[in-house]
Amino acid sequence: MTIPGEAGIIKAMKFIDEAKIYVKAGDGGRGCVAFRREKFVPRGGPSGGDGGKGGDVIIRAKESHRTLLDLKYRQHHTAKHGGYGSGSNKTGRNSDDVIVIVPVGTIVTDAGTGEVLADLVADGEECIVAKGGIGGKGNAFFATSTHQAPHFAQPGMPGEEKELKLELKLLADAGIIGFPNVGKSTFISKVSAAKPKIADYPFTTLTPHLGVVKYGKLETFVIADIPGLIEGAHRGQGMGTQFLRHVERTTVLLHIIDISDETGNGAWKRFEAINHELALFNPRLMEKPQIVAVNKIDLPSTREKLPKEIDIFKKNKIKLLSFSAITGEGVQEVVNAIIEKLQTAKA
């Protein structure tokens, strides 16, 4: 299977993974106090209709959305109140619901109580996060044999209001993990249209980046650049827990390793260190298929160490790939390995 070059790039996305919003459902419409005034009907009778229901606020997941960026700029979502009741026993109109669109993979939490209201993991899945108030009863409802002309009606019930915390856990097909400055950002910029900041010092990436890689004729997969992890990430050191959660829902992990420095830490030691952090954060992460690849083979120091590292991984029954994100050497083989793992997982 071959991967197109620049023609395979189709888009990049700016990534926002947390947002807080305020939602207010519509109040119910008030009931009506009215009496019939019909010709040839003496004394008439109560005819006030009920109020309509206020609109709900619904959060719906859509595949077309990839980040929570829109909700950073629109934080208040309010539904309209129900219509008021009127004479002749006419019920007020029910108000329309307000739909808030979020990406698939969004967890909705009540910011006040900490209760998880929904975990939206499928396209079209939705949750009512604030229910509209019920309309008040008109005076016709309260008429009895002993109280035939009530002069009162109910107000509508208030709609629910809440502050919500939205947290997106990526549903990318492949996630790139590894220590800082191993070339994750360069790799994703090579295979997709994502344009993360790239420089020769640690922690250049402060937010995850998503890219879409096209292969074959019409097939694509989403790849996520998870910012560099460090030892202690599972305890929140560096920016660990903020990004480790995004690894949880990826299908395949691409573990990139850099052995070009002179620290003496080989590829296997670095591989074990990152996997140790994954296991402490969530043991189930160790069940995910991993592709392990050494970057920067354009450097003589890396090429010199590579044969020994391949043998160590081979003894542990792991295939070690190699590539250069700068020159493009070996990149296609790494992408092919991702595709193969994804197809196996889907099967």
Strands (E), the chain: 9-13, 18-24, 57-62, 76-78, 98-103, 106-110, 116-120, 126-130, 161-168, 174-177, 209-215, 219-225, 252-257, 290-294, 320-322
185 pLDDT more than 50: yes
In three-state secondary structure terms, 202 is coil
Model pTM?
0.65
Q: Are 104 and 32 members of one domain?
A: yes
Condensed to tens digits (0 to 9), the pLDDT of residues 1-15 reads: 344 443 343 344 455
Give the best-scoring range by mean pLDDT among 77-86, 139-148, 171-180, 203-212. 77-86
- Domain CATH for 41: 2.70.210.12
Q: How far apart are CA 224 and CA 228, in angstroms?
A: 12
**Residue 95: how many CB atoms within 10 A of its CB?**
25
CB 59 within 8 A of CB 102: yes
Q: Which domain holds residue 243?
A: 6-15+169-346
Indicate whether 1 belongs to any domain. Answer: no
Q: How far apart are CA 105 and CA 84, in angstroms?
A: 39
Among 133, 168, 203, residue at a domain's last position: 168
Condensed to tens digits (0 to 9), the pLDDT of residues 239-283 reads: 445 566 777 778 899 999 999 887 767 899 999 988 888 888 888
- Domain CATH for 254: 3.40.50.300
Comparing 81-90, 217-226, 279-288, the range with the smallest average pLDDT is 217-226
Q: Are 138 and 173 members of one domain?
A: no
Q: Are 139 and 236 members of one domain?
A: no
Number of domains in the chain: 2
Q: How far apart are CA 338 and CA 224, in angstroms?
A: 12
Q: Are 224 and 328 members of one domain?
A: yes
Question: What is the pLDDT, as a whole number, of residue 14?
Answer: 52
CB 214 within 8 A of CB 10: yes
Condensed to tens digits (0 to 9), the pLDDT of residues 189-207 reads: 888 865 544 444 444 445 6
Question: What is the pLDDT, as a whole number, of residue 15?
Answer: 58
Among 147, 168, 189, residue at a domain's last position: 168
Q: How far apart are CA 44 and CA 41, in angstroms?
A: 6
**Residue 318: how many CB atoms within 10 A of its CB?**
15
Strand partners, 103: 62
- The residue-averaged pLDDT of 19-27 equals 96
CB 108 within 8 A of CB 130: no
Q: Considering the chain, what is the average pLDDT of its residues?
A: 84
Where does the pLDDT of residue 312 fall: very low under 50, low under 70, confident under 90, or very high at 90 and above? very high
Q: Are 188 and 334 members of one domain?
A: yes
Question: What is the pLDDT, as a whole number, of residue 67?
Answer: 79
